[in-house]
Amino acid sequence: MNLVVVSNRVARGKAHEPMTGGLAAALLSVVENSGAIWVGSSGRVRDGAHKEPFAEIEALGAGALAMLDLPAAHYGGYYEGFANSALWPALHSRSDLIRTCQEDYFSYREVNAFMAKALLRFEKPGTAFWIQDYHFLALGAELRDLGVTQPIGFFLHTPWPERAVVGGVPHHRELVEAMLAYDLIGFQTQDDCDNFIGYLSADLGLNVSNGVVTSRYGTSRLQVFPIGIDPQKFAEQAAKAVSHPDVSRLRRSLNGEKLAIGVDRLDYSKGLVNRINAFDRMWTLRPSLARTASLLQIATPSRGAIEAYGNLQEELAKLVSEVNGRHGEVDWTPIRYLNKGYGQNVLAGLYRTAQVGVVTPLHDGMNLVAKEYVAAQHPADPGVLVLSKFAGAANELDTALLVNPHDIDGMAGAIATALSMPLTERRMRWEAMMEKLRAGTIQQWFADFVDALQESRLERAPDPSPMAPSLWPLRSVNSNLRYH
Ligand code: F6P
């Protein structure tokens, strides 16, 4: 089978290059080894690109990487607009941050349609398409409209929220109906899958039986595939990284004090304000922990053109400086706050240096930083993971110290507990987490999804009794919108 993997962001195979976002980093090695073609955005735009898709193609391991210039007229409305100012906030249960308009939706659909046309050049007999994430909810339907009959799967890396929240997204019904063009729809957790099923039953009146739903496209299988990492490779990288200059400098600068580390995209879903408040609270309530433990927070700027992200960047910078002003000493800075990205090779060493990993999102599909922090630890002296119970990773990493990121005092207490946890307990918790990581690697995730995609295509037969006419056609909402 020829596999074509599609995502908005792609990664090149350089461990030292900073990578924004877990998806690209996680997919890189499996795509490299699978021989698949990975298609995504080049990060550049082009006038009139919709007429003539332009792709730069390079080798990627046993396969290839194809980077497309997206249409200049629609990129902003697609990426900053509908994908990241309507879908992203809603998928993370922040409907209050939805800011969008008809033009954004139009651009989102145009880019989905553009990508579908561009993919045709990679279609051969025996090809299967695997679409990643919320940027391309409608891409499967676009491919079907172009006559593609091969297996098409979709995996959502973010949470899927409760139906009332989905109902806050303009054109939600049309989008979910379009998703049913996929043969297989994968989710990170059972809750996400159940929420999706809840929407299908309550809002679309569809019956889901044994994880299968029938629509005019045929059947779609709904299944959970928690994404993993390559723990062995990450551990090896971490052991090697201790001699990296950035990691050695960090170690030298600590003067025996303990280190907690947070590594996140600068995003409101990551709970960064609450996390800084928890450290503030901890140093206020337990002044003895001042000087003995500090926080290294790497917050990589992301989606800076969107107002909510600009506001968050300002708020965090102010908060960190207040907390440092309140607790710092002439020779001690409580929070080292960095707004830049690091390559996986350095991050692995930073994680291994830190006695505590703090991963406290308000909502997160999985959060691979949590898994990477665990994999990077020294087996003889592992650190402690403080993990939000609202990250998908908490389902597997249940021997981490699980916290509610809205409970600042609770988090402050958990961080203090982590800093003083005895070695035997640290090892027990860590070993249990490593077992889970070894059982659910990224290679396994990839293979499981591809196998399930092939099977679900075999099961799929177009439904002879079409759905209620009110649900169709897919593009019924705004007659001013032109999609092709
Ligand atoms: O979590 C979903 C995701 O698509 C991941 O790729 C990554 O964490 C992030 O969002 C990427 O964001 P962006 O490409 O907008 O920087």
Q: Where residue 20 falls among pLDDT bands split at 50, 70, 90?
A: low
Please write down the long-range contacts of 208-214, taking CB distance under 8 Å and 24 or more positions apart.
212/459, 213/180, 214/463
Are 251 and 214 a contacting pair, CB within 8 Å? no
271 and 354 co-located in one domain:
yes
Are 363 and 392 a contacting pair, CB within 8 Å? no
Q: What is the pLDDT of residue 466?
A: 40
Task: Please indicate, yes or no, if residue 372 is contained in any of the structural domains.
Answer: yes
Q: What is the pLDDT of residue 201?
A: 98
Q: What is the pLDDT of residue 484?
A: 25
148 and 26 co-located in one domain:
yes
* CA 20 to ligand 1: nearest atom: 16
Residue 39: enclosing H or E segment and its boundaries? Answer: strand 37-46
248 and 365 co-located in one domain:
yes
Q: CA nearest 332: which of 243, 270, 258, 416?
A: 258
List alpha helices for 254-361, DSSP H: 272-285, 307-327, 344-353
**Percent of all residues in the chain with a pLDDT value above 70, rounded to a whole number:** 92
200 and 54 co-located in one domain:
yes
Model pLDDT for residues 407-423, shown as the tens digit of each residue: 999 999 999 999 999 99
Any ligand 1 atom below 6 A from CB of 365: yes
Whether residue 157 lies in the annotated active site: yes
Q: CA nearest 156: which of 93, 91, 82, 248?
A: 91
178 and 266 co-located in one domain:
no
Any ligand 1 atom below 6 A from CB of 132: no
163 and 278 co-located in one domain:
no
Q: What is the pLDDT of residue 55?
A: 78
CA of 326 to the centre of ligand 1 (A): 34
184 and 285 co-located in one domain:
no
In the chain, helix, strand, coil percent, each to 5? 45, 20, 35
Any ligand 1 atom below 6 A from CB of 21: yes
CA of 270 to the centre of ligand 1 (A): 12
- Phi, psi (degrees; rounded to nearest 5) at 16: -85, -10
Average pLDDT (444-473) is 68
Q: CA nearest 229: which of 421, 27, 74, 457?
A: 27
Q: What is the pLDDT of residue 469?
A: 33
13 and 107 co-located in one domain:
yes
Model pLDDT for residues 235-279, shown as the tens digit of each residue: 999 999 989 999 999 999 998 999 999 999 999 999 999 999 999
pTM of the complete model beyond 0.85: yes
Any ligand 1 atom below 6 A from CB of 303: yes
- Cα–Cα–Cα angle for 330, 336, 342, rounded to 5 degrees: 150
Whether residue 133 lies in the annotated active site: no
List alpha helices for 329-441, DSSP H: 344-353, 368-375, 408-419, 423-439
Q: What is the pLDDT of residue 12?
A: 74
* CA 134 to ligand 1: nearest atom: 4
From 50, 92, 157, 244, active-site residue: 157
| Alpha carbon distances (Å) from 440 to 213, 265, 327 | 27, 24, 41
460 and 342 co-located in one domain:
no
Q: Which residue, chain included where needed, has tokens 């889970």?
A: 436
342 and 193 co-located in one domain:
no
Q: How many domains does the chain have?
A: 2
CA of 316 to the centre of ligand 1 (A): 20
Q: Which residue, chain included where needed, has tokens 């690697």?
A: 441
Q: Is the pLDDT of residue 462 over 80?
A: no
Render the burial of 205-223: b for 16+ CB within 10 Å, e for the rest: ebebeeeebbbbbbbbbbb
Q: What is the dihedral of CA 393, 14, 8, 397, to 10 degrees?
A: 0
Model pLDDT for residues 173-210, shown as the tens digit of each residue: 999 999 999 999 999 999 999 999 999 999 999 999 99
Q: What is the pLDDT of residue 23?
A: 75
CA of 28 to the centre of ligand 1 (A): 14
CA of 133 to the centre of ligand 1 (A): 9
Q: CA nearest 348: which of 234, 262, 229?
A: 234
CA-CA distance, 323 to 326, in Å (whole number)?
5
Q: What is the pLDDT of residue 481?
A: 30
471 and 422 co-located in one domain:
no
375: domain CATH number? 3.40.50.2000
Any ligand 1 atom below 6 A from CB of 302: yes
Instruction: Write the residue with the smallest CA distance to atom 10 of ligand 1.
Output: 21
Any ligand 1 atom below 6 A from CB of 157: yes
Any ligand 1 atom below 6 A from CB of 9: yes
Model pLDDT for residues 39-80, shown as the tens digit of each residue: 999 999 998 756 667 778 999 988 999 999 999 999 999 999
Q: Which domain holds residue 80?
A: 2-227+442-476
Is residue 470 packed enough to be buried (19+ CB in 10 Å), middle (13-18) or exposed (0-12)?
Answer: exposed
Are 42 and 11 a contacting pair, CB within 8 Å? no
Q: Where residue 458 falls among pLDDT bands split at 50, 70, 90?
A: confident
Are 453 and 128 a contacting pair, CB within 8 Å? yes
Q: What is the pLDDT of residue 255?
A: 86
Token code pair at residue 11 = 């990664």
State which of 7-21, 298-312, 447-461 shows the largest mean pLDDT: 298-312
Q: Is the pLDDT of residue 471 over 50?
A: no
Model pLDDT for residues 279-317, shown as the tens digit of each residue: 999 999 999 999 999 999 999 999 999 999 999 999 999
Collapsing DSSP to helix, strand or coil, 408 comes out as helix
